[in-house]
């Protein structure tokens, strides 16, 4: 069976990867309808030998679609999601618009696939850093029972969309040529710098991005008592996020058992050979399906603690790929 698929935000960095991955993963497509803002309408988008004309998104754009992957930001999701559902279209939403709504499943297929079957027309894709972190933590939770985590993220500029990528590239070139460092996307120079600030600050000093790790992690794993302290940092890396995690568990841990749990979990791979300087890095996990986990060691603070390092492609597993995997899950189970 082939499905009529829409992509809202088709011209963005994630939208373009959705087009690519749908074809590379051979998802059964009937019609592919590319939707964007009025300013992009009439432009064309190509993949392989196929070319599509971008259409302006309106409420009626979703008529006749089986599923539409939204990747145009929370405002557009709030504007169009219910309109799509009214027209019989399932929405898989990449934005933050519906993640914490009780009626909307928040899904990572390797972790809570059953939640996807309980949707009421909208399924939310978690935040990129949350997905990548939990891909490394969930198999350890299954083995030892997770209680709390302290995490620092190292987030690539791809998390800011195409503009972040362009700004890093332009600043790096300007530095090399002695030119002016122009700042538009970030409040400070990102080239050769670290910015300990992702998203808006809240009254308690944390940012909205940092609280996503807590709130979304609790919802995805069904752990209302999970404790999380997170610091999110933007780094001058084009693609793939990294997360340093110290995790406390209910039961005694061992590095050997942790490595075994990671190695046996779908969607992640163990890269933990410090004797040969092997550990996951962004260059190795850009445009890669799996997330990498390494630097696993006993934590020096928590009694039943482990420290680890997780790396994954923000544009793929953190966004486009996870959304497509949700659609694949529903297709495989005959629920799409």
- pLDDT for residue 96: 97
Tell me: pLDDT of 202 over 90.
Answer: yes
Domain count, the chain: 2
Over residues 46-71, mean pLDDT: 97
The answer on 182 and 91 residing in a single domain is: no
The answer on 259 and 199 residing in a single domain is: yes
The answer on 239 and 107 residing in a single domain is: no
The answer on 140 and 110 residing in a single domain is: no
Domain that holds residue 184: 130-314
The answer on 325 and 307 residing in a single domain is: no
- pLDDT for residue 314: 96
Spatial separation of the C-alpha atoms in residues 68 and 90, rounded to whole Å = 6
The answer on 247 and 177 residing in a single domain is: yes
Question: Helices 13-24 and 321-332 meet at what angle, rounded to 10?
Answer: 40
Domain with residue 219: its CATH number is 3.30.360.10
Helices (H), the chain: 13-24, 74-86, 128-144, 162-177, 208-221, 255-263, 282-285, 321-332
In the chain, the percentage of residues whose pLDDT exceeds 70 is 100
Q: Where does the pLDDT of residue 54 fall: very low under 50, low under 70, confident under 90, or very high at 90 and above?
A: very high
pTM for this entry? 0.96
The answer on 249 and 141 residing in a single domain is: yes
The answer on 185 and 98 residing in a single domain is: no
The answer on 211 and 135 residing in a single domain is: yes
Q: Known catalytic residues? A: 128, 241
Q: Find how far residue 323's CA is from the centre of its chain.
A: 9
Cα dihedral 101, 103, 104, 107 in deg (nearest 10)? 110
- pLDDT for residue 122: 98
The answer on 328 and 283 residing in a single domain is: no
- pLDDT for residue 104: 98
If you average pLDDT over every residue of the chain, what do you get?
97
The answer on 325 and 310 residing in a single domain is: no
Over residues 165-184, mean pLDDT: 97
The answer on 289 and 264 residing in a single domain is: yes
Tell me: pLDDT of 162 over 90.
Answer: no
Per-residue pLDDT reduced to its tens digit, 293-335: 999 999 999 999 999 999 999 999 999 999 999 999 999 999 9
């Amino acid at each position: 069976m082939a499905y009529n698929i829409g992509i809202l935000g088709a011209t963005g960095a994630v939208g373009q990867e959705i087009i690519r991955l749908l074809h590379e993963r051979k998802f059964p497509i009937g019609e592919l309808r590319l939707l964007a803002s009025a300013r992009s309408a009439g432009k064309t988008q190509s993949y392989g030998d196929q070319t599509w004309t971008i259409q302006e998104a309106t409420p009626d754009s979703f008529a006749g679609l089986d599923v539409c992957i939204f990747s145009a930001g929370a405002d557009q999701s709030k504007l169009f999601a219910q309109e799509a559902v009214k027209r019989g279209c399932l929405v898989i939403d990449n934005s933050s618009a519906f993640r914490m709504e009780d009626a909307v499943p928040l899904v990572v297929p390797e972790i809570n696939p059953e939640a996807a079957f309980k949707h009421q027309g909208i399924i939310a894709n978690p935040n990129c850093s949350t997905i990548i972190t939990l891909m490394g933590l969930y198999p350890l939770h299954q083995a030892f029972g997770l209680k709390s985590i302290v995490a620092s993220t190292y987030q690539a500029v791809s998390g800011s969309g195409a503009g972040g990528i362009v700004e890093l590239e332009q600043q790096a070139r300007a530095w090399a040529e002695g030119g002016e460092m122009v700042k538009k996307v970030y409040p400070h120079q990102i080239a050769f710098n670290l910015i300990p600030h992702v998203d808006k600050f809240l009254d308690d000093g944390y940012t909205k991005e940092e609280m996503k790790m807590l709130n979304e992690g609790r919802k995805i794993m069904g752990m209302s008592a999970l404790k999380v302290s997170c610091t999110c940092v933007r780094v001058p890396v084009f693609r793939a996020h990294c997360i340093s995690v110290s995790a406390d568990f209910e039961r005694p841990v061992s590095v050997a058992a942790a490595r075994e749990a990671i190695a046996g979990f779908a969607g992640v791979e163990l890269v933990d050979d410090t004797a040969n300087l092997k550990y996951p890095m962004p260059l190795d996990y850009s445009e890669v399906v799996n997330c990498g986990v390494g630097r696993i060691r006993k934590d020096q603070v928590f009694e039943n603690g482990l420290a680890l390092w997780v790396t994954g492609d923000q544009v793929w597993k953190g966004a486009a790929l996870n959304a497509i995997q949700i659609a694949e899950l529903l297709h495989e189970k005959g629920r799409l």
